[in-house]
Structure 1
Amino acid sequence: MSYHIFIVEDDQNIRDIVAAYLKKNGYIVSMINNAEEAWEQTRNNQPDMWILDIMLPGMDGYELCKKIRQESEVPIIIISAKDEEVDKILGLELGSDDYLTKPFSPRELVARVKRLFKRAKLTDSQSTDEVEHYQVGNLTLQVSDRRVFWYGKEVEVTAKEFELLQSLMQNKNRAFSREELLTLIWGDDYFGSDRAVDDLVKRLRKKLEGLPIETVWGYGYRLRDDEDIS
């Protein structure tokens, strides 16, 4: 199978170089110089991965990333000249799977593309072995259609928020370090700050008021289930 990748980048030189390396590795590539046109193309042509620049004319990469995540779980890699930690965290919060700072090695980008496709394929192969849903107290998580219910009412969550809940619910009452959660949710090739985990937990606590995610001070978090404690 040949994966199809959308490259959304307004710098033609970067587009051409990235596309050349991806094509050399067997990928099908569409090159687009603005977010509006890229989004329009998805009506008839859904990619298997997005590579997005942040600083685009008109709609920026963050906004496009947000729109993609509202409708799809395909891998997203953000590339940007910005190197601030807050920008990386914002990109990951909005649902991107990886973040590369310009200038970057095209070979490194290709390696990350391969890793993300490998992770996505592994997740798909494991899905048939997963239970259909998890239940902890008044929290219900349906795996097959990625839906979350709190006291019987459905709550909209992002892809990363869902993955955090699933990891904690699969291992209720177990304390995870922030580093463990970073690896589980973003992969072992992510080298950003563990603040991304704190922000994820903060957003879930706001959406699911009373959610029993406990802070293990100086370490990480656990999802407490009193009924399962003997």
Structure 2
Amino acid sequence: MRPFHVAIVDDDPNIRQIVEAYLQKEGYVTHCVESAECAIQLKETESPDLWVLDIMLPGMNGYEFCRRIRKESETPIIIISARDEEVDKILGLELGSDDYLTKPFSPRELVARVNRALRRWERMNSRIESTHAHKSEQPASQLLVLDKERRMVFSLGVEVEVTAKEFQVLSLFSEHPNRAFSRDELLTLVWGDDYFGSDRVVDDLIRRIRKKLEHIPLETVWGFGYRLRAAEGNWEG
């Protein structure tokens, strides 16, 4: 089995060295870079399984890099920062980070948080992969088709690329047609009951799904949450 790859993005060489040593001792493959710009190049060649990300970086800051990662994937992100104000933590979490650790921190605690984030990531992927297989060759008239074996999404017969969490939410809606899910329910079912952060992450994810799949009848239940209105022939999950 391929070992997990962890990327460390920090402009402080001492922190990079210490974090790398502890993560390698835990069995992880590590990649160290000193800026978000270098991290973007690393992402194209190595595809890390988790990011350990500083906020105060030269050039592009960690918040902007976190936002860019979340537009493309749900790869776990742990922010480490000297900024310990509550507003900074909330902003980091709302932009899509999975955890936030303030400097100075215990390297052992960081390793524990990395372990937890990757276990959660594995469980989420296992749940998606264990769902029943569905054929992807469906009539082009269908607005939404999920191939759960290959984790592929089709709209009007055309494949649409989605992230792991987007696929998980679509699977949940397709398995419960016309049921309204509250934001709190979606947070628990998709992000986990130990998630700390605002339910705005749900709204952001739904907005991304609607942008990618503009034809599906994903409705807002005002003051509550969302549901997939499923008329016969419109979708298959």
1:163-182 aligned within 5 A: 163-182=168-187
Distance apart, 1:157 and its partner CA: 3.4
Give the % identical residues.
Answer: 56
Partner of 2:10: 9
1:85-119 deviations in whole A, cap 9, x for unaligned?
Answer: 344322x1xxx5x1314235544432221122223
1:168-213 deviations in whole A, cap 9, x for unaligned?
Answer: 1222223222122112222222110111112222333344335322
Unpaired runs of 5+ residues, structure 1, are none
Of the three residues 187, 194, 218, the one matched with 1:189 is 194
Does the Cα contact within 8 Å between 2:63 and 2:92 map onto a contact in 1? no
Change (3 A) 1:43 1:207: closer
Partner of 1:99: 99
Letter in 1 for 2:158: K
CA–CA distance in 2 between the matches of 1:29 and 1:21?
10
Of the three residues 143, 146, 165, the one matched with 1:141 is 146
Partner of 1:223: 228
1:50-109 deviations in whole A, cap 9, x for unaligned?
Answer: 22223322344355456656776643333343716344322x1xxx5x131423554443
Cα RMSD (Å): 3.4
Letter in 1 for 2:33: I
Partner of 1:34: 35
How many correspondences in the alignment? 223
Unpaired runs of 5+ residues, structure 2, are none
Partner of 1:57: 58
Partner of 1:18: 19
Distance apart, 1:43 and its partner CA: 6.1
- Secondary structure of the 1:83 match is helix
CA–CA distance in 1 between the matches of 2:143 and 2:52?
38
Does the Cα contact within 8 Å between 1:9 and 1:15 map onto a contact in 2? yes
Deviates more, 1:198-207 or 1:66-75: 66-75
CA–CA distance in 2 between the matches of 1:205 and 1:127?
21
Please report the TM-score for the alignment, with normalisation by the length of structure 2.
0.73
Partner of 1:112: 113
Please report the TM-score for the alignment, with normalisation by the length of structure 1.
0.75
Does the Cα contact within 8 Å between 1:5 and 1:27 map onto a contact in 2? yes
Change (3 A) 1:188 1:108: farther
Does the Cα contact within 8 Å between 2:180 and 2:227 map onto a contact in 1? yes
